[in-house]
Every structure is written in C-alpha cells, then in structure tokens.
Structure 1
Amino acid sequence: MPVYSMTGYASAQHTPGGNAEIATPAACLALELRSVNSRFLDVVLRLPDELRPHEPALRELIAKRLKRGKVELRVSVEAAAGAALPDVPVRTLQRLAAAQQQVRVWLPEAAPLSVADALRLAAGDSAASPALGEALLPLARQALDELVAARQREGARLLALLQERITALRALAAQAAPLVPQLVQAQRQRFLERWQEALGAAPASEAVTQAAQERALAEATAFAIRIDVAEELGRLAAHLDEIEAVLQKGGETGKRLDFLIQELHREANTLGSKSATLELTRISVDMKVLIEQMREQVQNLE
C-alpha cells in the first residue's frame, strides 16, 4: 500500500457542455482543494451561499478518502464564457439601488455593489441551485482523485528521503559499535599504569601488586558499565527495523512513525550522555540531526 503525504493541491473546473454528467446551464464551477499536515482530519469548506446545502455531502465525500490533514475546499461560481447576460428589469435595478442606499446610511464603509453582484441578485440564486448542485459533487470527486494522487506522489518522495536517513543512521550505529570495547581496553590499561606509578614509591610486595591490579580491574569494569551503549544501539536498530516495516506496509503511517521517531531520539540522547570520546559525541550529534530531519518528514505523512 502506498505512503501518503498530507500535503497536496488539486483544482477542477467545469463549463457548460464540457461534460454531460455535470453540465450547468449558464454558469461554470471552479473548485480548489488544498491540504497541509494536521494531527486529525480538519475540513474547511468555503462555498457560495447557494451551494451550502451540499456541505454535508462534501464533508462525507472527503472523509471517505482522507484520514488526516487540514483540507480546504474552495468553490466559486462564475458566468460561463459566452453565456448571454440576463435581461434585468429596470424596476429590479431600482430596488437594488434603493437597498444599497439604505444599507450605506447605516454602514457608510460598505462596498458598493459590483455589476456581478447586481446580476447575481437580480437573477436569483434559487433557480440555478439545482443545476449547480448536480455539477458540484462529480467535480469534487474529480478534484479529490487528483488530490489523492498528488499526496501519493509527495508520499513517495518522503519515503525515499526517510530511507536515506535510515541507511545513514545504520551506518553511524555501525561506526559506534566497535568504539566502546576499544575505549574500555584503553581505559583499563591506563588504570593499571596509574596504579603502578602510584605504588612505585611504596615498598613492593606481591600482595600490594595483586590488590592494585584487582582495584584497577574493578575501576575498569565500572567504567565499562557506565559507558556501555550496546543496549541503546540494539534498541535503535530495532526501532529502525520497525520504521521500515511500517513504511513498507504503507497506509496510515504518520502517528505510529511519530512515536517511533521519539524513541529514536531518546536512544540518541542516551548515547550522547554516555559518550566518553569525541568520536562517540560526534556520532550522537549526527544521529540527532538525521532523526530531526526524519521527524519533520514524518509529520507530513498521513
């Protein structure tokens, strides 16, 4: 199953005669769909007044296809190209002028009526509503198909970026794994040398030498336990395996991946806190950078 992004855009337009299924007599519909990331599905509809009765059907249509994201659907109604302008009676225009004058007495800042406003009010929206409503839903399905395809293309791009980061994280973990045993061995040798130097001025005896060696080994063991990152590297590898499995499965991946990214960040932080060399510190910082990049990408996945 593909991986979908929550970011996408689609538009659709219809003019009379372009499609018998959604033909309208003298008006064309322009529809835009935009979606960005969001924790849940948030649908915002911006419809002309004559199309507001179709809002529930549009919400249901979107909810069947999309699971997450802030989705904005904007619909506008325009006169069809070449359509004859309606004959507006003079008496109707007089009533509109009187109504406008009365409104501006109380609201002097109100914008004057445009020609399009006057034609729309004079023609009456109720007569056009049935035809526009029949055209709206098929057009919305068409735009929704395009939006889903756009989100799928963006999801494929994000999937490739995530795979690159996963490969880089595995490479960094492979670099970190052999550093700890080497560091423990070097630290053990330093402990032994320091104890031998400290006992150099004291009378030598087999018991003192044995005690010094045992103390050095105990200190080295405690140091090894303190800096051991094998458990963190193991959990990090397990989280990366799970992320790859989720991405391969596809579908609704965003919320689960967001949790796994938090766990990756936790392991990288622990790795940095246990770091006893500049090399391990560098690896930890590089891991955090990659994980933060993954977090930004995952937040766009459905």
Structure 2
Amino acid sequence: MVMSMTGFGRAVKQTSGCIIQVEIKTVNHRYREYHLKIPQQLSNTEMALRNRLGKYFNRGRVEVSVKMTGQLPARKELHIDWDLLDSYDHFIQEIKKKYSVPGDAVISDYLRIQDAVEVVESGDRAEELSTVLISAADEAAEQVLRMRHAEGIALSNEIHSYIDELEERVLKVKEQAPAVLKKYTDRLKNKLSELMQDHIDESRLLAEAAIFADKADISEEAARLHSHIAQFREALHASGPTGRKMDFIIQEMNREVNTIGSKGNDSFIANLAVDMKVLLEKLREQVQNIE
C-alpha cells in the first residue's frame, strides 16, 4: 500500500499542573531525518522520543515540536527514620523497667520525635513527564499516519493513470516499429533505384536494410519497458516503503525511452518518445512523495 511522506498530527496531554503539546509534520526526503524542538526540561527524553518515532516513520523529514506549559507540583513523600524510632522505643522501655514508670507510649508520642518522621518534597518527575510526552507523540504520529495513508491512496490513483498511459504509448511503439523499418527500406530502395537506373543490387539493398534494422530495432527497448512497467506495478502494491525502488525503476524506463527516441528515426516514434518522457516526469514528481 502506497504511503505518502506528507502528513500532520497534533496531540495535547495533561498531567497534574502541566500540559504537553506535540506537533508532528512530515515531508518528503530521500532518507529519514529528524528535526526535534524540545523544551530544556524535557531534553532527557529526546532519545526515547526518536526511538518511538522510528516505529511510525521509515522515510521522510520528520519535524517535531514539543511545548510544555505549567509546572508539575512537587511530589510529597513521607520519610521515617526507623532506626531513630527503634532507639526511642528502646529508651522508653528501659526507663519503664529502671524506674517502674507505669503507662504505655502512644503513636502520637513517636510522631512528635524530632527528625524521626518528616514530609519531604521530591522534585524529580522526569519519568512521569516522559510517559506523558510519549503518549502525546503516539497520538500525533497516528494522526500523521492516517493523513499519509489517505494521501497515499490519491497518489496511487494518479500514478495508476500515468502508468496506464505510458503502457499505451509503449504498445503503439511496438505496433509502429515494423512500419518504420518498411518505410525506410522502401525509401532506400527508391534511392538506390534512382542511382542505379532501376538496376537494383538486391544484396546491397538487403545489407543496407540489415544494418538499419540492427541500428533501428527498438523491440528490445520496448520489451524492457514492459518489464519495468510490470515491476513498477508490483512495487506500487507492495507493503512497506517502496518510493526509492519506484524512483530507480523510473530512471531505467527513462533510459529505454531515450534509446527508443534516438533509434526510431521516425517522427511518429519521436512524438511517442516525447509523450513517454512527459509521463515519466509526472510519475517521478509523484513518486518523490512516496515513502
């Protein structure tokens, strides 16, 4: 299935006191290239973000803009010095034994011990921020894929029409090739007849015709063009990235068309070659956008 390299996605995720927005834009590029804009407080998530994006995009320029507003409230944690409490409890028990003090210590007594129980703030929320960022990136990337898929369908339809037209021109070339050879042979025969006063040297005529046939035979080029067209159609329906392969096939088809134009020695063939080059250029322009 053809996938375009052009797409856009945007997602916003919120965590306590903080909003993270991720925008992803992709455009065509020969390889996969990342351009990330990430706030300083999220810079440690860049590698994780790149790895995540690699699961969605195989080719193209991927531009990612991350914005964060607000601040995460500090996380409060309860720290208890159990060793200190154990020592305090041991001290109380010793006092009760030594001085025969009645009564038991209650929990509130332990909580009032200085430095034994305290509430501290933890400013490290990197893991939570990374989770929110990756979640937003996933959602934005999915939107991009949907857009790339929809555009890929439109590209595929247009490419199909161009390749069908190209194949029609190739068939016309093959149909015209024998007539071009006969036309040249007749012209050669008439010329020799004038020069030799109707005493035609058949062996010379055949030799000249054979030389021309060898130089002007475009059947091999037409056959290779048909083969390239078949390969192109296969690539068009293949799964995964196929844009670079199709671009290479277009280059090979263009080479065959140039040869046909130079060997054909016929205005009709020449016009067909021009038409085919125009179609190949249109194909190339569309293929540049395929992943």
Whether TM exceeds 0.5 here: the answer is: yes
Separation in 1, partners of 2:35, 2:154? 26
Could you say what secondary structure the match of 1:274 adopts? helix
User: How big is the shift at 1:169?
Assistant: 0.5
Number of the residue aligned with 1:224 = 213
Give the one of 153, 156, 159 matched to 2:156: 159
Q: Pick the aligned partner of 1:143 from 117, 140, 145.
A: 140
Aligned to 2:40: 49
Matching residue's letter, 1:51: L
Match for 2:289: what amino acid?
Answer: N
User: Normalising to structure 1: TM-score of the pair?
Assistant: 0.75
| Structure 1 consecutive aligned stretches of length 4 or more whose deviation exceeds 6 Å | none
Give the C-alpha shift of residue 226 in structure 1: 1.4
1:238 maps to a residue whose letter is S
Structure 2 counterpart SS, 1:250:
coil
Over aligned residue pairs, what C-alpha RMSD do you find?
2.0
Aligned to 2:27: 36
Q: Deviations over 1:180-219 (max 9, x none)?
A: 211211222222222222222xxx8xxxx4x612212221
Q: Any residues of structure 2 matched to 1:101-116 within 5 Å, and which?
A: none
Indicate which of 243, 264, 272 corresponds to 1:283: 272
Tell me the amino acid that sits aligned with residue 215 of structure 2.
R
| Distance in 2, Cα, partners of 1:178 & 1:218 | 24
Counterpart in the other structure of 2:58: 67
One-letter identity of the residue aligned with 2:144: L
Question: Which residue pairs with 2:282 in the alignment?
Answer: 293
- Of all paired residues, the percent bearing the same amino acid is 33
Q: Give me the TM-score of the superposition, normalised by structure 2.
A: 0.77
The 5 Å alignment of 1:114-133 reads 131-133=128-130
The 3 A distance-change label for structure 1 pair 128 and 217 is: same
Worse-superposed segment, 54-63 or 188-197: 188-197
Please give the secondary structure, in 1, of the residue aligned with 2:233. helix
| 1:169 aligned residue (152, 166, 171) | 166
Deviation string 1:111-157 (CA, Å, 9 cap, x unpaired) is xxxxxxxxxxxxxxx57755533321111111111111111112111
| Distance (whole Å) between structure 1 residues aligned to residue 265 and residue 64 of structure 2 | 55
Deviation track 1:54-84 (CA, whole Å, cap 9, x = no partner) reads 111101101122111110110112349xxxx
AA matched with 1:5: S
2:252 is aligned, of 263, 266, 272, to 263
Greater strand content: 2
Counterpart of 1:76 (choices 44, 63, 67) is 67
How far apart in 2 are the matches of 1:64 and 1:190? 64
CA–CA separation in structure 2 for the residues paired with 1:235 and 1:243 = 12
Q: Are 1:192 and 1:213, in contact at CA under 8 Å, matched by a contact in 2?
A: no
Check the 8 A contact 1:25/1:131 in 2, yes or no.
no
Select the structure of larger CA radius of gyration.
2
2:92: which partner in 1? none
CA distance in 1, matches of 2:211, 2:164: 33
Partner of 2:9: 10
* Alpha-carbon shift at residue 246 of structure 1 (Å): 1.3
Say whether the 8 Å CA contact 1:41–1:67 is kept in structure 2.
Answer: yes
Stretches of structure 1 lacking an aligned partner (at least 5 in a row): 15-22, 81-125
Partner of 1:109: none
Structure-1 separation of matches of 2:47 and 2:190:
80
Question: Counterparts of 1:64 and 1:11 in 2: how far apart (Å)?
Answer: 17
DSSP-derived class of the 2:241 partner: coil
Please state whether the residue corresponding to 1:12 is helix, strand or coil: strand
